[in-house]
Amino acid sequence: MKKLLLLASLFIFAITGVLQAQQLPLYSQYMMNDFFINPAIAGSKDYSPVLLSIHKQWIGINDSPSTQTLSGHTMLANNNVGIGAIIFNDDFGPESHIGLHAVYSYHFHIDRLNKISLGLSAIAMQYKMDQRFFNLTIYDDPAITYMVEKTIVPDATFGVYAYGKKYYAGITAAHLFQSKLKINRNLDENTMVRHYFVMGGYKFIFPNSPQLEIEPSLLMKMTEVTPPQFDINLKLYYDKDYWFGMSIRPEDSFVAAIGFKHNQYYFGYAYDFTFSDLSAYTFGSQEIIFGMNIGENVRRSRSFF
């Protein structure tokens, strides 16, 4: 019963009044495909990565968030324009989102090794809220219609990305239009909130231990109605084909990730250990990724970056 009340509170919290929570899916291994976060990354690799990500949040809570994402991007022959696409499905109990990102980026060559790119993602998303089986103690809430509410939400994401052989940094603004969710005629304040992401990382290579590489990175997330949240990350590579990573989200969770790569294919697994107030109800979160780097020259370089 406690789990049901907790989940119901989160649903109502997400759809009524001034939104205080993040509305975008949460990823544990975004470092393996930061294209999820910044459209300017499209075309920034020496190959064309295709990735499937499956994320299950808050294990032990019925109908907790579940996200499936398929993405791919590539550089066109002119070596300046990148294109890509993301298909995603995000479910949270009676609430679900399914959508498509169509991505375009343009890359400026600062010199032979350093580039800056601008990216724009056009988004079409269907938002659905199934209220038919709600069991509430207050029945006159104008936010609840006990019907299946659907709406198509257009939106866009803009990103800037700077990168070189050993470093990357970027900034993203998502939900640029702050589109209204027209799912209830009794409410007119259901809107998508603009999100901001700032990321950066650097890969340290040791001449005396060429098999080892260490990459610290940072991701800052915030909205116009919430304070900044940070992911502090560290990844250790061995022989470029094996890695171990860990992240900490202060006051929320600790993430441990492992993975391996064989030729152009790779696999990753991450587990989130929750230590927020939700730890009394959940065992944590899990994420699995499967990827393929099409066109990668394995003999020349097996690195992801």
Q: Is residue 252 part of a domain?
A: yes
Q: Is residue 302 part of a domain?
A: no
Dump pLDDT digits (tens) for 83-93: 999 999 998 87
* Cβ neighbours, 10 Å, residue 241: 17
- Residues 114 and 164 sit within 8 Å (Cβ to Cβ): yes
Q: Is residue 285 part of a domain?
A: yes
Q: Is residue 305 part of a domain?
A: no
Q: What is the reported pLDDT for 298? A: 52
Q: What is the reported pLDDT for 26? A: 66
Domain count, the chain: 1
Quick one: DSSP state of residue 24?
Answer: S
Hunting for tokens 């702050």 — which residue is that? Answer: 178
Task: Give the helix/strand (H/E) hosting 115.
Answer: strand 115-130
CA distances from 272 to 54, 72, 147, 247 (A): 14, 25, 34, 9
Q: Is residue 304 part of a domain?
A: no
User: For the CA atoms of the chain, what is the radius of gyration?
Assistant: 20
Q: Report the chain (305 residues): mean pLDDT per 10 consecutive residues.
A: 40 37 63 87 94 89 87 92 95 87 96 94 89 68 72 92 95 89 63 90 90 94 87 92 92 91 93 83 88 77 39
DSSP per residue, 204-243: EEETTEEEEEEEEEEEEEEESSS--EEEEEEEEEETTTEE
Q: What is the reported pLDDT for 9? A: 40
Q: Is residue 301 part of a domain?
A: no
Q: Is residue 165 part of a domain?
A: yes
* Domain containing residue 102: CATH number: 2.40.160.40
Q: Is residue 300 part of a domain?
A: no
Quick one: DSSP state of residue 283?
Answer: -
Q: What is the reported pLDDT for 78? A: 83
Q: What is the reported pLDDT for 136? A: 67
- CA 122 – CA 83 distance, rounded (Å): 12
Q: What is the reported pLDDT for 275? A: 83
Q: What is the reported pLDDT for 60? A: 80
Residue 150's domain comprises: 2-294
Q: Which of 170, 169, 42, 163 is nearest to 110 (CA)?
A: 163
Q: Which of 31, 148, 135 is nearest to 95 (CA)?
A: 148
Question: Torsions phi, psi of 301, nearest 5?
Answer: -160, 125
